[in-house]
Amino acid sequence: MQILLTLLIIAVTGLVIYAIIKTNPAKPMQLPPMPATPYEPKLPQGAPARHLSDGGRFLVEVVNESRYQGTLRELAGAHGDQAAAAPYLATLVPDDLNPYESAAVAVFLDGRMAGYLSQKAAIKFRENLKRDELEGHVTTCDAQVRGGGLWQGKRLAYIVALDMEVLEK
């Protein structure tokens, strides 16, 4: 009797699950197709509106560099087994056409895309530009391509550090 009752419970449970699955109108969400080439903003021409500095502290890191590791490796130059600290002038560009982030700020080094400010930093950066009546303008700051040293026989990743006021607190 116990076995029969267990089998009946299993059968009824199976029928309920089958009914739920068959009558559920939810369809899997269709994702938009991936573009043939990844989105990358263009570096505008012209003089920057302002040069930012935080006294050489380099406390703001650029994010999304994994996609740009090849570029950063080239910009770091030859540095042997030690970590690089190659100096550059960074150009910060409000990226209003970015399809993934509405408040994106792109970072270029030597005219080449190097990554973005983090979302929180980009929002604060744009607020600062608006406050100073420079909304949408290009600015610059000193930067360093760091990293790439050897550790346990492998080359570490590169990062970009910016010499500008810390935007995330």
Domain boundaries, the chain: 50-162
Over residues 41-50, the pLDDT tens digits come to: 888 888 888 9
pTM of the model: 0.75
CATH code of the region 50-162: 3.30.70
- The pLDDT assigned to 31 comes to 66
The candidate with the shortest Cα–Cα distance to 66, out of 12, 136, 163, 147, is: 147
Segments of the chain scoring below 70 in pLDDT: 24-29, 31-32, 34-37, 65, 169
How does strand 139-147 pair with strand 50-52? parallel
DSSP E strands, 3-132: 50-52, 60-61, 84-94, 105-109, 112-116
**Phi and psi (nearest 5°) for 15?**
-65, -40
Element (H, E) at 129: helix 119-131
Give the span between the Cα atoms of 91 and 154, in whole angstroms.
Answer: 31
Looking at every residue in the chain, the average pLDDT score rounds to 88
pLDDT of residue 13: 86
- Helices and strands (H, E) in the chain, number of each type: 3, 9
Question: Which residues in 84-108 are b (16+ Cβ under 10 Å) and which e?
Answer: bebebebbbbbbeebeeeebbbbbb
- Report residue 42 as tokens: 């263009």
Tokens of residue 154, six digits:
């492998």
- Give yes or no for a contact between 123 and 135, defined as CB atoms under 8 angstroms apart: no
pLDDT tens-digit series, residues 52-89: 999 999 999 999 768 899 999 999 999 999 999 999 99
